[in-house]
Amino acid sequence: MIPNITRGAKMTGLVSYLAGPGRSNEHENPHIVAGHDSVILTAPTGELSHAEAIELAHEIDTARVVFGTEVSYTNRRRMNAAIEDGTPRSVALADATSDRNVWHCSLSLNPDEGELSDEKWGAIAADFMREMGFDDPESPRPSARWVAIRHGKTTAGGDHIHIAASAVREDGTKVDTFNDFTRAQAACNTLERTHGLVVLTSRENERGTRGTKPAEAARATRVGAPETSRALLERTVRACATASKTEAEFVRRLRGQKVLLRPRYDTGTTGTVIGYSVATTLTATERAAGTKPVWYGGGRLAKDLTLPRLRDEWDTTGTAPQDAAAEWSAARRGAAVTITTGRERMALDPELVARAAEDISKWNTYLMSIPVGDTAQWARAAGRTAGVFAAWSARTEPTPGPLAKAAAALSRSAQIPAHQRITPDPERRHAGGAALIVLQAALATHGGAAANALLLRQMMRTMEAFADAERVAGHAHQAHTLTLVRERELTMLRDRLLVRVGTDDAHPDRAPTQPTGSAAGEIATGSAAQGARGTSIEDLPAEERDELLATLERDKALAVDERRMRRGLAGDGAHGANPTSPERDRDWNGPGR
């Protein structure tokens, strides 16, 4: 069960929204399932009307109005960011402080858990508010008024409730909401066991990832983006970090991806970089409206993307530290990148994709050597492997597809507390070479599908290894997630690649097919490198070729069907139809509206 806490100033606004149709008419039958005794005493039954919602909000807000209690909240992150930008501290403090007498928390289940009854949700809500200190019958402190409203499933399909509470107790004193995010996670862990819900072992092991905030989802919808800025930035940073050999190269790669980047310097210095923040470039409409970029520190993207963690994987010998400092300074000043001979500028031969498959094969051998109980080493390997998927996605998926999903799933296995991190032995294997190849190799005009199919086959074996490791470690939910991504997303992608291998093998002299449907999961194999020859199926080692051909033979019927559909000869009489893309399961990104 995932909690998501927000604060506000207008109780009537929150309750009327929860009882209303929602932003996309997704709310169904909004009704009360639990609440404070004083609220329930006069609360309406059945579906809430707008008038009833307003009256309900006034009832919850009674103590604050009677006693005139003011509840303010300072967003420290916003204040510190403003100070870093040069805003005077007093001004930054005032701008980051606002009225926050309304406490709102949603409790959401994974879609796989199904639905609970109103009675069960009511019991969970009451126990949760007791654990959070708002309404504890055994406490000498007066309680604070609250109500739990249920209005259908989240946009991702998960059952959930919303709790609207006053931050003012019945005697006019304020509820202590300090560290409520952490306390809410602990409360959910307790209630998962008490009420027989799925226990999130990632929370117990401090391996969880951040859920999507409503504001992030709203911005993505507003600009027509297929995902949130944070999801895009995490994948981009991970891809660039994994493909880079040095910190300076990492900075240049990010800037080359049009990512806004700024360093965080140690206190009192302008040369010692201890962190970084990234943001997506604003659209023309946002710039015209005066919108400011939303910055994310590395640790807000993922625990393993902090600068100290990333530095563990890079070469720091020779002039590397000085080179990095110069690149950070250029990024801060917005100066143009002047290095034109870096690794990120190399155009790699498409034949190297087969080399990437060999590298991942060796990587899989390395994974087999990691002890099952070595959580830190498995987490480090998961982060590096996620980087390869992220780099491949950045190169071939115009919108997030199977490769992006694989990167996201594996990145969850990389989240461990900072004190558990390990410093990689220089002799340990890295996946950076494969990430570099898939991020930069020119796309082959012929035969590229064969090499990509081989690489994907090795990456699927990698996913299987991580799923097995998570299962043995007792992380059943994460193991299930990795298995689903492998069996659904990557298997479908593999089948599409094998169709391309069969088509290229049958028509070796035919002009290359331009990539279509990358967003639906096809890896592009087309026109970026005109005249270059990729790795054809005949160029592969005998063992690899035989295995690939055997797989291709099993999928011959699929290949025939797809070719017939392209020629307009399918049984339904459609002309020029393309094979339909499989509906992809939506990732569950935490509580919805």
Give the CA angle between residues 23, 26, 27 to the nearest 5°.
100
CA distance 446 to 156: 40
Residues 255 and 125 in one domain: no
Residue 257 maps to a domain: yes
Q: Give 82-114 pLDDT, tens digit per residue.
A: 888 888 999 999 999 999 999 999 999 988 888
**Do 107 and 192 share a domain, yes or no?**
yes
- DSSP code at position 487: I
CA distances (Å), origin 25, targets 128, 153, 256, 575: 28, 12, 40, 37
Mean pLDDT of 181-188: 92
> What is the total count of domains within the chain?
2
35 and 114 fall within a common domain: yes
Q: Which of 85, 104, 100 is nearest to 164 (CA)?
A: 104
Same domain, 34 and 170: yes
Other C-beta atoms closer than 10 Å to the C-beta of 134 total 25
Which range, of 135-144, 217-226, 307-316, 584-593, averages the lowest pLDDT?
Answer: 584-593
Q: Is the pLDDT of residue 59 over 80?
A: yes
- Against a cut of 0.75, is the pTM above it? no
Query: In this structure, are 150 and 290 located in the same domain?
Result: no
Amino acid at 529: A
Residues 189 and 227 grouped into a single domain: no
| Structure tokens belonging to residue 219 | 């911005």
pLDDT in tens, 4-42: 999 999 999 999 999 999 877 789 999 999 999 999 999
Counting beta carbons within 10 angstroms of the beta carbon of residue 284, is it exposed (0 to 12), middle (13 to 18) or buried (19 or more)? exposed
Residue 282's pLDDT is what?
87
Cα angle 281, 284, 285; round to 5:
115
Q: How high is the pLDDT of residue 507?
A: 47
Does the residue 398 lie in any domain?
no
> Does the residue 544 lie in any domain?
no
Residue 408 CB neighbour total at 10 angstroms = 25
pLDDT tens, residue by residue, 516-533: 333 333 444 333 333 333
Q: Which residues constitute the domain of residue 192?
A: 2-199
- Predicted confidence at residue 487, as pLDDT, reads 94
Evaluate whether residue 463 is within a structural domain: no
Pair 211, 590: CB distance under 8 Å? yes
Residue 554 predicted with pLDDT over 60: no
Whether 16 and 50 have beta carbons less than 8 Å apart is answered as: yes
Q: Note whether 323 and 175 are same-domain residues.
A: no
**Token duo for residue 189:** 């862990």
Q: How confident is the model at residue 357 (pLDDT cuts 50, 70, 90)?
A: confident
Whether residue 304 is contained in a domain is answered as yes
On whether residue 69 sits in a domain, the answer given is: yes
> Is 122 inside any structural domain?
yes
Asked which of 278, 300, 331 is the last residue of a domain, the reply is 331
pLDDT tier at 123 (50, 70, 90 boundaries)?
A: very high
Same domain, 39 and 136: yes
Are 27 and 163 contained in the same domain? yes
Residue 448 has pLDDT above 70, yes or no: no
Note whether 181 and 64 are same-domain residues.
Answer: yes
User: Distance between CA atoms of 492 and 481, rounded to whole angstroms?
Assistant: 16
**pLDDT tens for each residue of 493-519:** 998 888 877 655 444 444 444 333 333
**Domain membership flag for residue 62:** yes
Q: Which helix (H) or strand (E) holds 250?
A: helix 247-256
Among 285, 300, 331, residue at a domain's last position: 331
**Lowest-pLDDT range, 51-65, 201-215, 317-331, 372-386?**
201-215
| Domain end residue (candidates: 311, 331, 351) | 331
CATH number, domain of 76, equals 3.30.930
Q: Which two tokens stand for residue 23?
A: 């932003």
261: β partners: 278
User: Which band of pLDDT confidence, cut at 50, 70 and 90, is reported for residue 208?
Assistant: low
**Degrees to nearest 5, angle at CA 279 with 273 and 282:** 145
Q: List all residues 6 or more positions away from 212 whose beta carbon is below 8 Å from its beta carbon.
A: 228, 230, 231, 589, 590
Say yes or no to pLDDT of 260 above 90: yes
Q: Is the dihedral of CA 459, 465, 467, 470 positive or negative?
A: negative
Q: Tokens for 493?
A: 């992608």
**263 shares a domain with 302:** yes
Same domain, 155 and 252: no
With tokens 């007093």, the residue in question is 90
CA atoms of 412 and 431, how far apart (whole Å): 18
CA distance 125 to 42: 19
